[in-house]
Structure 1
Amino acid sequence: MEKEIERAVLRVIESMHENLGEQITIDDMARTAMFSKFHFSRVFQRVTGLSPGRFLSAVRLQEAKRLLASTSLTVTDISHRVGYSSVGTFSSRFTSSVGVSPTKYRQLDCVTPQAFTAGHRDIAETRSVTVKGAILSPLEEQPVFAGLFPDRILEGMPVSYTVLRRPGPYVLENVPPGEWHLMAQSVAPGREDAVNHPPGGDEALCVGRHGPITIRPDTHTELADVQLRPMRPLDPPVLLALRDLLAAAAVQHAR
């Protein structure tokens, strides 16, 4: 039964990719899955970790990243191609999810370490909670990004993050109270563009998660290990632009 549910959810995700320019409703997705609307929403979130609408929004923005990096289409044209009728709404959602505006992303094709530093909340001096553990990955010699996010998706500003030279021990400091998902990613050498494409089942893009992790005011240290695996079509798209962080870490550690 679980395999049948996953196949139904996969049909919906494939339909999302094929019809990004259309206005896709929950009713449309439920019909594609051949479930009732309410049952579909529950099983979709259980399988992917996100609601259908949130997943669709992530797929739209992932395609926008690809078009910005690989075509000369205007931001307005791209926003319409991925299903936004308002370029203002598209730009706002892209900026909050990826870390920079569509225009800046096209110029840099990345998010710099400075962008993360500038976006950090100015409360580091008031907390001292640490999350630490080990990250394992089939990409044994590649840099790894690890960060704490409010949801099961790599988007928006992490409350704490690190970039490792290779899989192994990690430490995330100054973690605020709350419920966080530890998300980690590594990209195969020469396949940095994999983050902008739907997952194909190869090992070019490996992801992992742990959580939710509950941090209370009286917490001092939380232990969490993560095993990375090749990304699957059922995993939410990677929206945060991490290529520059991983590349910068590789250059720094090579010195």
Structure 2
Amino acid sequence: MVQVIERAVGQVIDSMHANIGEQFTIDDMARTANYSKFHFSRAFQRVTGVSPGRFLAAIRLQEAKRLLVATSLTVTDISHRVGYTSVGTFSSRFRSSVGVSPTTFRQSGGFTRHIPMARRAVDARTAVVQGEISAPAGPPGLLFIGLFQDGIPQGAPIRCTVLRRPGSYLLSCVPPGTWHLLAQSVALGRESMLGDGPFAHDLALSVASHGPVTIRPGRPVERADLTLRPICNLDPPVLLALLDVRTHALGVSANASA
């Protein structure tokens, strides 16, 4: 049954890619999966960790990232190709999700040298999230680990860190709330994929997730272990600009908790 549901969700995700610049409603998605709208939405969320609408929005921005690096299309043309009627709305959502403007993303070849964290007040109720991250498929590049508000790696993480190799990690001063622990890595030596952009070899991108993790007062330590694996089409796209393995930068030194 699980495989049947995953196959149906995968078909819908394929249709999302095929209809990226067109209107593709929840009703359309449910018909593609041959489910009722209510059953489809629940099944999609269970398989991918996010709602169908959020997943489609992420696919559109991921395609915009690819077009910015792989083509010379204008930002306006790209915004229209991925389903936006307003270039201002597109640019705003791109910046809030990816972390930089479309123009900056293009100029940097699809990478970023700095991942800013969300500004949140620190009080006595904060906790530590710690654990081990492993990479059975082989040595990855830099490992980025962050806590996000939902299951899509986008926007400013609540807390994050970068490791040079698999092993122990620690995220300190984590505020109360419910967060998703997400990790990503681009294999060393394969970061240059379209010129200097990260889009020609998707299997070079590995991901891991855990959660949601709920931080409550009185529980100062939460443990969560992660195992990296190649990204697949059922995983939400990584919208946050990939960390540039050539700079090893996170605003603070690599291998240090932020």
TM-score exceeds 0.5: yes
Q: Classify 1:124/1:2 alpha carbon distance in 2 versus 1 (closer, same or farther; 3 Å).
A: same
Q: Which one-letter code corresponds to 1:212 in the other structure?
A: P
CA distance in 1, matches of 2:23, 2:112: 30
CA contact (8 A) 2:182 2:207 kept: yes
CA distance in 1, matches of 2:138, 2:205: 9
| Larger relative helix fraction | 1
Alignment match, 1:133: 131
Alignment match, 2:173: 174
CA contact (8 A) 1:148 1:161 kept: yes
Residue-by-residue CA offset, 1:195-238 (whole Å, 9 max, x unaligned):
954986x4x22111111111112232211111111111101001
Residue 123 in 1 paired to residue 121 in 2?
A: yes
Alignment match, 1:162: 161
Alignment match, 1:247: 246
Residue 148 in 1 paired to residue 147 in 2?
A: yes
Q: Classify 1:227/1:79 alpha carbon distance in 2 versus 1 (closer, same or farther; 3 Å).
A: same
CA contact (8 A) 2:98 2:240 kept: yes
Length-normalised TM-score, structure 2 = 0.88
Unpaired segments of 5 or more residues in structure 1? none
Alignment match, 1:87: 87
Q: Percent identity?
A: 61
SS in 1 for 2:209: strand
Q: Classify 1:199/1:13 alpha carbon distance in 2 versus 1 (closer, same or farther; 3 Å).
A: farther
CA distance in 2, matches of 1:199, 1:214: 35
Residue-by-residue CA offset, 1:79-134 (whole Å, 9 max, x unaligned):
00011111111111111110111112112232332x51xx5315247665211111
Query: Following superposition of structure 1 onto structure 2, how do residues 31-50 of structure 1 map, counting pairs within 5 Å?
Result: 31-50=31-50
Length-normalised TM-score, structure 1 = 0.89
CA contact (8 A) 1:60 1:83 kept: yes
CA distance in 1, matches of 2:186, 2:86: 33
Q: Classify 1:9/1:233 alpha carbon distance in 2 versus 1 (closer, same or farther; 3 Å).
A: same
Alignment match, 2:57: 57
SS in 1 for 2:189: coil
Unpaired segments of 5 or more residues in structure 2? none
CA contact (8 A) 2:140 2:187 kept: no
CA distance in 2, matches of 1:198, 1:234: 18
Query: Following superposition of structure 1 onto structure 2, how do residues 178-197 of structure 1 map, counting pairs within 5 Å?
Result: 178-192=177-191, 193=193, 197=199
CA distance in 1, matches of 2:207, 2:47: 16
Moved more, 226-235 or 190-199: 190-199
Q: Classify 1:141/1:3 alpha carbon distance in 2 versus 1 (closer, same or farther; 3 Å).
A: closer
Q: How many residues align?
A: 246
CA distance in 2, matches of 1:122, 1:19: 38
